[in-house]
Structure 1
Amino acid sequence: MTKDVLLKISGLHYETAEAAGDDENEPIEVITPASYYYKNNKHYVIYDEVVEGMAGTIRNKVRIADDKLEIMKSGLSNTHMVFERDKMNITQYETPYGDLLVGTHTKDMQVDVTDEKIDVHVNYALDVNSETIADCNIVMNIKALAHE
């Protein structure tokens, strides 16, 4: 895989009946250039996220292993989210609007790695401040950029 990659992240939240307000389950999709490297049997992807209406960015580092996905954010938001199949992980999520206690209960996770791309699919339940908020999916496609 090349150092320069294109990252596509799609996320979908299915709100629980208790948390549902209106019926908006719109997928969120981001496509951005990113940097890739491989170290200690783990894949790393680093990219900056611009937040609409706010000065500054969020630096994202994604660490992928066969059985674990980690998303580390720093800058406007700070957190270290961990996804492991059949496990609940809890972390502090610092936002410009205050801190949240976020739990992720990973129900299913698939990682598919080839020389040219990495595909990650995660299905998890999201808890905020000990209350189940939504069932969620994350799909990441990391593709090597062709160099001429």
Structure 2
Amino acid sequence: MYKVKVVTSGFQKDLKGKREKVAHLAEGQYHFRNNKHYVKYNDSDLDKENVIATTIKTDGGKLTIFRRGAVDTEMIFLHGEMTHTSYHTPYGPMELEINTRQLEINMDEVGGQGEIDLFYDLAVNGSPVGEYELHIKISNAGK
């Protein structure tokens, strides 16, 4: 296990073309087992009282992001493919449709460093909501 810094940044573009920048910095943990990379960290950017435990899992081709807490979901990203998942919130569940347009994963199992670039379209309950661009940088913070 390695301690890591996780920097997420990107843009959300709604259907009207309005772009909003998103960014987050967290400390977490990196594990490599069974030929898969795992990065775990807590996301409290949106709501300091409701921390969301986030896990990024990848084998280099498929990316899965688990979020547990105030929201509960398992988002799967595969380049060129459409995936479906449920997104559970305090206000009820929503069905997500994720169209992954681009996915680049470069991870180093020694030291837990890497970068992930992700571009996808998102629909909620069958209605398109926007385009998303996400860049995740993971850097070693020591043992």
TM-score (norm 1): 0.87
Paired residue for 2:124?
A: 128
* 2:86 corresponds to which of 92, 102, 125: 92
Moved over 6 A (4+): none
Matched, 1:141 2:137: yes
For 2:33, the aligned partner's letter is K
Q: Sort the Cα spacing of 1:71 and 1:53 in 2 relative to 1 into closer, same or farther, 3 A.
A: closer
Aligned pairs for 1:1-148 within 5 A: 3-16=2-15, 20=16, 24-50=18-44, 52-53=46-47, 55-114=49-108, 115-116=110-111, 117-146=113-142
1:116-140 C-alpha deviation (Å, 9 max, x unpaired): 5210001111111111111111110
Percent identical among aligned pairs is: 23
> RMSD in angstroms over aligned alpha carbons?
1.7
Q: Secondary structure at the residue paired with 2:79?
A: coil
Question: Structure 2: how far apart are the matches of 1:61 and 1:108?
Answer: 20
Equivalent pair of 1:48/1:57 in contact (CA under 8 Å): yes
Question: Structure 2: how far apart are the matches of 1:110 and 1:61?
Answer: 18
Structure whose CA Rg is larger: 1
- Return the offset for 1:51: 5.3
Question: Structure 2: how far apart are the matches of 1:37 and 1:93?
Answer: 26
What 5-or-longer segments of structure 2 have no aligned partner? none
Identify, as 1 or 2, the structure richer in strand.
Answer: 2
TM-score (norm 2): 0.90
> Structure 1 stretch 128-137 or stretch 46-55: which is displaced more?
46-55
